[in-house]
Amino acid sequence: MSRAPDYPNASDPTLVQLAQQGDTLAFEELVARHRDKVYSRALSMMRNETDALELSQEAWIKAWQRLGQFQGESSFATWITRIVINICLDALRRQKRLHAESIEQMAEESGGVERHLPPVQVDMLAGLDRAELRARIEAGLRQLSEAHRTVLILHEFEGLEYKECAKRMGCSIGTIMSRLFYARRRLAALLAGLKEERKP
C-alpha cells in the first residue's frame, strides 16, 4: 500500500508533478503557498480588492487547465505570476484602462510636468528599512496611471525586457521605452517629495 504524500513538506516540483497527475490536494498546497504572491500581483495591477480576488482565482483555474504544459523551464511561482499578469492585462484592456483617455493621462504619456522637473539627486529614502521603502514605493505606484504602473511592474518587478513588455502590453517598443522613462521620472519625483501627491 502506497503512503499518502507529505504535501506540506513536498517541494514545488513534486507538487506540480502530482497535480499534473490529477492530484487536487497537491494543487491545493501550491495554491496555499503562492496565493498571497498571486493576489498581490493582481492587486498591484488592478488596485481593487474584488477584482484582484476574482482574477487571482481565475489564474489558478487557468493554471490547473494548463498544468500539462508546464515543463519546469521557470519556477512554478514565476509561471503562475505570468498567468495572473496576462489575465490582469486582459481585464485592463477590457476596461480600456491601459489607454490614455483623459487629458491628464495623455499628458502622462508624453511626459507631462515631469519633463520640466530637475532630476532627483539626493536619496531621500536612504535609511529607511526594507518594509518602509516598500510601503513608500507602493504609495508612489498608486499615484501612477495604469499604463505607467503596469510597465514598471513588468520591467522592474518581473524583469521583462522591453520587447517582452511590448508584446504583453500590445504596443511598440518605443512606447514601452517612453512609458518606462516617464513612469520612473514621475515615481522619483513622488518618492522624493518634489511633487505633491494627488488623492487616489
Partner 1 sequence: MTRETQLKLQAWLDGELPAADAPEVERLVERDPQAAALVRELTLTRRWLAAGEVTHPVPESREFYWSQIARRLVPRDHPVSAPGRVFAAWRRWLAWLAPAAACAGLLVLWLWPRWETASRAAARPPEIETPTEEIGTYTFRSESEQMTVVWVNSL
Residues at the site binding partner 1, with contacts judged by CB under 8 A: 20-22, 24, 27-28, 31-32, 35-37, 39-40, 43-44, 49, 53, 56-57, 60-61, 64-65, 67-68, 111, 118-121, 123, 125, 130-131, 133-138, 152, 155-157, 161-162, 174, 177-178, 180-181, 184-185, 187-188, 191
Nearer to partner 1, 33 or 97 (CB): 33
Nearer to partner 1, 123 or 197 (CB): 123
Nearest-CA neighbor of 29 among 39, 42, 41, 14? 14
CB 155 within 8 A of CB 179: no
Nearer to partner 1, 96 or 127 (CB): 127
Burial class for 193, CB neighbours closer than 10 Å (0-12, 13-18, 19+):
exposed
Considering the complex, what minimum distance in angstroms separates the CB of residue 185 from partner 1?
Answer: 7
Instruction: Give the cell for residue 56.
Output: 487571482
Considering the complex, what minimum distance in angstroms separates the CB of residue 132 from partner 1?
Answer: 9
CB 55 within 8 A of CB 39: no
Nearer to partner 1, 71 or 96 (CB): 71
Considering the complex, what minimum distance in angstroms separates the CB of residue 30 from partner 1?
Answer: 11
Nearer to partner 1, 6 or 96 (CB): 6
Considering the complex, what minimum distance in angstroms separates the CB of residue 52 from partner 1?
Answer: 8
The per-residue b/e assignment along 44-82, b for 16 or more CB within 10 angstroms, e otherwise, is bbbeeeebbeebbbbbbeebbeebeebeeeeebeebbbb
Considering the complex, what minimum distance in angstroms separates the CB of residue 92 from partner 1?
Answer: 18
CB 166 within 8 A of CB 175: yes
Amino acid present at 7: Y
Nearer to partner 1, 98 or 190 (CB): 190
Considering the complex, what minimum distance in angstroms separates the CB of residue 145 from partner 1?
Answer: 17
Q: How many residues does the chain have?
A: 200
CA 160/CA 151 separation, integer angstroms = 9
CA 175/CA 68 separation, integer angstroms = 35
